């Protein structure tokens, strides 16, 4: 993604970019993984750790963690739940919904009236469709009167999936 060199992303310098490229596929499984990355880039482990901490503080790194394959773990029913909530409360409600353990993504998005009245999106993961619907019911109870209508869209098929990633 050449946009990294754009002025708008001045927060990232060339070294940040090299660290991202070296780690976007994952961290090496070695006792000193940051040192292994540093060695590859010809910089110090301290520099790598310092920059990763800075990028974490700035929100460029969401977190450093393991990402499970939810299908492999039996979470095969994945529904996109969508909610019409009052705009003045969407932020507070979005944070509460996002904090639920079965919600993986929670965003505010624009309505398209009248066809699309929903402004809050929450991806729900469950092991069955019944369980997913139960969890959607849990969100509805949490929202109470602020739930002015909702729906849940289950995926039928992946039509395309290519990652979004930096290229050298």
Of residues 89 through 118, those in contact with another protein by CB under 8 A are 90-91, 94-95, 97-99, 101-110, 112, 115-116
Radius of gyration of the chain (CA): 20
Please list, residue by residue across 123-161, b when 16 or more beta carbons sit within 10 angstroms of its beta carbon and e when fewer do: ebbbeeeeebbebbeebeeebeebbeebebeeeeeeeee
For another protein, the binding residues in 59-78 under the rule CB under 8 A are 59-70, 72-73, 75
- Secondary element (H or E) of residue 86: none
The angle, 0 to 180 degrees and rounded to 10, between the axes of the packed helices 14-23 and 33-41 is: 130
> Smallest distance from the beta carbon of 73 to another protein, in angstroms?
5
Interface with another protein, residue 141, by CB under 8 A: no
> Smallest distance from the beta carbon of 117 to another protein, in angstroms?
12
Q: CA 168, CA 157: separation in Å to the nearest integer?
A: 32
> Smallest distance from the beta carbon of 52 to another protein, in angstroms?
5
> Smallest distance from the beta carbon of 97 to another protein, in angstroms?
7
Q: Is 93 exposed, middle or buried (0-12, 13-18, 19+ CB in 10 A)?
A: buried
Interface with another protein, residue 47, by CB under 8 A: no
For another protein, the binding residues in 147-166 under the rule CB under 8 A are 151, 153-164, 166
Interface with another protein, residue 20, by CB under 8 A: yes
> Smallest distance from the beta carbon of 91 to another protein, in angstroms?
7
Of 64, 22, 54, the closest CA to residue 39 belongs to 22
What number of chain residues touch another protein (CB under 8 A)? Answer: 80
Largest CA distance in the chain: 57
Segment contacting another protein (CB under 8 A): 56-64, 133-141, 142-150? 56-64
Interface with another protein, residue 3, by CB under 8 A: yes
């Amino acid at each position: 993604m050449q946009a990294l060199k754009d002025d708008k992303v001045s927060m990232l310098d060339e070294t940040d970019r090299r660290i991202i490229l070296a780690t976007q596929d994952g961290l090496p499984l070695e006792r000193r993984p940051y040192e292994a990355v540093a060695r590859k880039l010809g910089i110090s482990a301290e520099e790598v750790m310092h920059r990763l901490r800075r990028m974490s503080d700035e929100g460029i790194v969401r977190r450093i963690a393991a990402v499970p394959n939810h299908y492999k773990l039996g979470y095969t029913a994945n529904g996109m739940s969508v909610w019409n909530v009052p705009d003045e409360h969407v932020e507070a409600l979005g944070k509460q919904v996002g904090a639920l353990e079965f919600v993986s993504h929670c965003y505010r998005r624009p309505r398209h009236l009248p066809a699309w009245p929903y402004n809050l999106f929450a991806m729900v993961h469950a092991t069955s469709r019944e369980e997913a619907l139960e969890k959607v019911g849990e969100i509805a109870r949490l929202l109470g009167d602020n739930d002015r209508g909702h729906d849940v869209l289950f995926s039928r098929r992946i039509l395309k999936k290519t990652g979004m990633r930096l290229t050298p």
